[in-house]
Amino acid sequence: MSLSPTLQLAVDLIERRSVTPEDEGCQALMMQRLRAIGFHCEALRFGEVDNFWAVRGDSGPLLCFAGHTDVVPTGPEENWQTPPFAPQISDGMLRGRGAADMKGSLAAMVTACERFVAEHPDHQGRIAFLITSDEEGPAKNGTAKVVEWLEAQNEKITWCVVGEPSSTTEVGDVIKNGRRGSLGAILKVAGVQGHVAYPHLAANPIHLAAPALAELAAERWDEGNDFFPATSFQISNINGGTGATNVIPGELEVVFNFRFSTELSAEILQQRSEAILDKHGLDYQLEWNLSGQPFLTAEGPLVEAAQKAIRQVTGRDTVLSTAGGTSDGRFIAPTGAQVVELGPVNATIHKVDECVKADDLNLLSDMYQAMMVELLAR
């Protein structure tokens, strides 16, 4: 079967077993294609992570395509209907690890640029790619480090399209024009270990912390706004005890997370949380980890270009959303860039038998091309 350029490139990328932080030649393949159409490519390795920055053009506004070549582990491969790194197209579906998240998007970006440059070799502004192999992992030596490198050179991204799988049921039905912030914490509450028959000689940290945890869970942190739901607080892990039924534990560890809107800052959440813990007189230690600030691209040329492109290619209007987890857009938006996420349907991401409609990747490539026409064509 003859495949479209987009599908063929997607297959070539999926075949590479690029589980975080490995890249396995995905980026070299992309850079080869981009150099052939006039991009200057620079490989950037930080720690054990491969990244690259590619740019075409000398001046003017910069449209950047951002994404990642790494994928999550497959789990037991015998549970897959088809081998995860031997992509296949059957019943109109492209199957393989990374088909949706996000090698399909990467292929669509490259082929969209190839067609756009062929039709508009003297386009306005600049086109860039910011690609990492560290999005699904710690995300310490990937996009965040590339952005630091760009900032040191005073290189500013005007518009950024992240290829995360944003769609819900049909490609282009949803674009993400922002994300909530993510603030995690590890809380350790000290007690005094002892025998359960002699509680007066011990101090149970579970009992001591329970009222404070209940208050944190019941707190109304904000009301959200037109673009974000109210901030949420969730406890994800509680650990205490020795495993014995007759021992009062000496320490309790609680892991929790805030997903927060632009109505609050991480500093305010920390202050309010610690005030509640202090009120209950706990002997505690608290380790905070800010994974990303909330960001929002409410309106402007990039959102309008995405909406117009989706309508032009599919005939449908798109919904703007800030739902879901974090993405690497959280590292790019603070530089002043407008950021949207536009990618395939996310129904099977990180699952066994990950797949996308094959035709959706061709449509996605057309959408990316139409956005370039809107923003950069002379």
Beta-strand runs (E) in 218-299:
232-240, 247-248, 251-260, 284-292, 295-296
Question: Among 189, 191, 298, which Cα is nearest to 254's?
Answer: 189
The DSSP result for 55-121, as a single string, is: EE-SSS-EEEEEEE--B-----GGGSSS-TTS-EEETTEEESTTTTTTHHHHHHHHHHHHHHHHH-T
Cβ proximity of 94 and 13 under 8 Å: no
Question: Among 239, 233, 243, which Cα is nearest to 270's?
Answer: 233
Cβ proximity of 160 and 329 under 8 Å: yes
* Known active-site residue 278: no
Residue tagged active-site, from 23, 50, 101, 135? 135
Q: Distance of CA 172 to CAs 160, 258, 299, 329, 344, Å? A: 16, 29, 17, 18, 7
DSSP assignment, residue 228?
Answer: S
Q: What whole-number distance in Å separates Cα of residue 93 and Cα of residue 78?
A: 20
Residue tagged active-site, from 70, 101, 164, 341? 70
The terminus-to-terminus CA distance of the chain in angstroms comes to 37
Q: What whole-number distance in Å separates Cα of residue 183 and Cα of residue 198?
A: 39
Q: What is the token pair recorded at 95? A: 């199957």
- Residues assigned a catalytic role: 70, 135
